[in-house]
Amino acid sequence: MKSISLKKLSVFGLVTVATMSSFNAKAEEERTYPEVYPFVPFSTEKVQARAEYMSEDENYINNVFEAHRLGLSKGRTSEQPWMSTYWPLNKGLIADPYYESLQILRPQHELSWTSNYNKLTDRRTKVHPVIMELSQKELNKLAPSEKYDLLLGDKNFDLTNRLREYMHKWGSEKEYGFLASLDKVSGKSLEFAEKLVNEKIQVWHEGENKVFKTVEEALPYAMSRRGGLTEYFAQQMVDRGEARDVVDAFPAAFDKAVREQRNFVVKEKNDYMALWEGICHGWSTAAGNVPRPKHMVSFDLPNGKKLNFYPEDIKGLVSLLWANSEIQNTKYVYTDQNTGKEKVSGGILMEGLRCNQKSPDTDEWGRLYDSVPDYYSKKLEPRCVGVHPAIWHMGLINIIGNQGRSMIVERKVKAAVDNHPMSGYDMDFFNPMTGDYGDLADVIVPVMSDAEKARDQFKNFRNPETKYIVGVRTTMYYLAWKRPDRKETDGPEDDELVDKTMLYDLELDIDGNIIGGQWRTTEVGKKFLNLGANHDQPDFFWSVTKHFKETGYFDDKPGLSKWTDTNKLAPSDWLNEAKTWRSHNNKLYQTHLAGWGEKCEVKHKKTKEIVEVACEFIIDKPMPLTNVVNKLIELSRE
């Protein structure tokens, strides 16, 4: 074990740790760490506020003794979430007529989005026009979206084609494929700042809701949202001492922006599509909240053949509905101006941050940490260290253990996003000084005296209110994803559970309430080795609000004909409804009018200078009609 002394260099925002090796008492090494968690603890208030937020319960359980007494050291969801696939984007999401076997000898055709896009295009011209001439076996192998279109009597395959085009836009131009407007010149930030002040508009700024009192105070925020070349050149003039402030520099900067705009072009995006991209966010949220489709559902086609929806087809439609629904927005409670009642918008609660670094640094204990500002947020944040262990622990015991609900885990600390629905957890406790496992009461260690603290390897990073610490070995259980199949039935026995085990300490106050924690990479007493480090802590975890049904996002659209004979195809008016907004034509408007402040990068053709300018996006979010999905779920469970 190493003894540690610490001092904070606030000028540089760094934490310097002097360490002395137990193998050579004379050899002293100094390591400097950034002033961010895990080297700077979360406050008690922040830890407990986030736990309450995630559990959606002001009486959430945060005491280790109470949780142990209630049997929450183990937890399982009330209903096991269902296993499915993440429906890879490089195969067209649910427009993929999933093939039974991988093309082992031609992997480029299996993994290339352009190759798969061409296959889907061929289906549009060669298969769809003769769909009624297909054999029963060929009909059974249609993609989930193709079966859905047929069920609605849509010979133009509207949903399938929208998914195919979404795949092409994203693959060929990434998010710029959905670019609606680009304002290189801008200069509108001053007007926007005046609007913010005059209309007392509340905005989210630097971690809090804020109303600006003066234009000067609001201008930096306005520039970050609506800025363009004018704002960029104006700031350059101020930095060079050619103007007193940005407002003074605006007229000359605007003239230069108008002249220079033709020299700036949108920064090119690559056409690479990551293999992990898909709708895992739709599957993982739906799997724990939508009843499992139990068996195949059949409908009579006009040609006397059957249109068969396997459980996996229905899961695909459900996953797409949830992936593109507004349920994926952060939960927001507001007051309806007409009724005066509270309503819920959005439905996601999230804790932790995605690690965007390819190779994060490691501290002397082998733990990952953030040493540079995040590429996207431009801030130094606790991302690659993983979600805070205390908040993670309380999320488990409250959401899964106490409430019996599933939550979603992004299971690895890497840039790739890999969401899975969780079904349970097991916890064991150990003495963080000796490594001995035992009953909770026997392994909790006091750290109130200097002598007790001296034995604690993380003593310099603890919440200052810590009185006790206890080690936890937690094994989480989550649903794996699989390649889709055409089984006629589906049940929990068909699911594959995966487990991952992680190590961490909990920091406790005098009463045993959880107020902090630290991740570990090895069992106590074992020497850290790079190759053997346990980095199984989640990147982040999230859940669907308990009140998601109140949003109405998954209610049947009213006013449609009754589907009385469910042996036959859906009523004819359902197709017209499906093509409207909030179904096939669903879009996300990331525009200034909708409250967004997106920025795009433009590059000077000669100097290669890169500038962020105001832009807007309208992103396609096609969804199946809720009435169809609800009916399929209902029929699959009868």
**Residue 9 pLDDT exceeds 80:** no
CA distance 76 to 82: 14
Q: Per residue in 269-317, pLDDT tens?
A: 888 888 889 999 999 999 999 999 999 999 999 999 999 999 999 999 9
Chain CA centroid to CA 299, Å: 37
Q: In 3-state terms, what secondary structure has residue 358?
A: coil
Nearest 5°: the CA angle 217, 220, 226 is 125
| Residue 490 and residue 450 in one domain | yes
Q: Are residues 60 and 26 in the same domain?
A: no
Domain stop point among 542, 569, 585? 542
**Do 445 and 520 fall within a single domain?**
yes
d(CA 144, CA 95): 6
| Same domain, yes or no: 1 and 75 | no
Do 379 and 457 have their domain in common?
A: yes
Q: Are residues 18 and 55 in the same domain?
A: no
Residue 161: inside a domain:
no
pLDDT attached to residue 8: 31
- The beta strands (E) that lie in 95-213 are given as 179-183, 203-205, 208-210
Does residue 160 belong to any structural domain of this protein? Answer: no
Phi, psi of 298 (to 5 degrees): -120, 145
- Per-residue pLDDT, 20: 36
Q: Mean pLDDT of all residues in the chain?
A: 91
pLDDT at residue 19 tops 90: no
Contacts of 476 by beta carbon, 8 Å cutoff, 6+ apart: 396, 409, 422, 424, 425, 499, 500, 501, 502, 538
Q: Do 453 and 483 share a structural domain? A: yes
pLDDT at 1: 27
pLDDT in tens, 543-571: 999 999 999 999 999 999 999 999 999 99
pLDDT value at 510 more than 80: yes
Q: What is the DSSP string of 1-12?
A: --EEEEEEETTT
Tell me the two tokens of residue 34: 């950034």
Residue 12 pLDDT greater than 70, yes or no:
no
Q: How far is the C-alpha of 365 from the C-alpha of 457, rounded, in Å?
A: 9
Residue 317 host element (H or E): helix 311-324
> Which of 5-14, 101-110, 309-318, 526-535 ranks highest by mean pLDDT?
309-318
Distances (CA, A) of 523 to 431, 433, 471, 506: 10, 10, 10, 15
Six token digits for residue 344:
């819920």
What pLDDT is stored for residue 26 in this prediction?
35
Residue 31: in which H helix or E strand, if any?
strand 28-34
- The number of beta carbons lying within 10 Å of the beta carbon of residue 580 is 12
Least confidently predicted of 251-265, 299-313, 362-376, 499-513: 362-376
Percent of the chain with pLDDT over 90: 81
Q: Answer yes or no: are the C-beta atoms of 170 and 273 closer than 8 Å.
A: yes
Higher pLDDT residue, 108 or 421? 421
Instruction: Tell me which residue has tokens 């101020």.
Output: 238
Is residue 579 one of the residues assigned to a domain?
Answer: no
In terms of domains, do 443 and 513 share one? yes
Between 28 and 295, residue with greater pLDDT? 295
The region, left, alpha or beta by phi > 0 then psi within -120 to 50, assigned to residue 56 is: left
Res. 342: pLDDT tops 60: yes
Residue 638 above 70 pLDDT?
yes
Whether residue 10 is found in the same domain as residue 79:
no
Task: State which residues form the domain around 466.
Answer: 42-84+355-542
- Per-residue confidence (pLDDT) for residue 14, from 0 to 100: 61
Quickly tell me which residue has 């007494």 as its tokens: 69
What is the bridge-based pairing of β-strands 408-410 and 540-544? antiparallel
Can you give the pLDDT at residue 109? 57
Specify if 460 maps to a domain: yes
**Would you say residue 514 lies in a domain?**
yes
Whether residue 498 lies inside any domain: the answer is yes
Q: Does the structure show a pLDDT above 50 at 60?
A: yes
pLDDT of residue 100: 54
- 299-308: b (≥16 Cβ within 10 Å) or e: bebeeebebb
Q: Say yes or no: 474 and 526 in one domain.
A: yes
Residue 402 predicted with pLDDT over 50: yes
Residues 6+ away with beta carbon under 8 Å from 304: none
Quick one: which H or E segment has residue 544?
A: strand 540-544
46/18 same-domain check: no
Total number of domains in the chain: 2
Average pLDDT over residues 252-269: 95
Residue 472: strand pairing partners? 429, 504
Cα–Cα separations (whole angstroms), residue 364 to 16, 335, 551? 12, 50, 47
Listed residue (615, 635, 628) closest to 178, CA to CA: 615
With respect to residue 486, please indicate whether it lies within any of the assigned structural domains: yes
Please check whether residue 490 is in contact with residue 294, taking contact to mean a CB–CB distance below 8 angstroms. Answer: yes
CA distance 636 to 312: 11
Is there a domain that residue 376 lies in?
A: yes
pLDDT exceeding 70 applies to what percent of the chain?
Answer: 92
In this predicted structure, the answer to whether residue 3 has a pLDDT above a threshold of 70 is no
Of the residues 542, 571, 598, the one at which a domain ends:
542
| Same domain membership, residue 63 and residue 6 | no
* Closest by Cα among 166, 222, 167 to 199: 222
Residue 37 scores a pLDDT above 80: yes
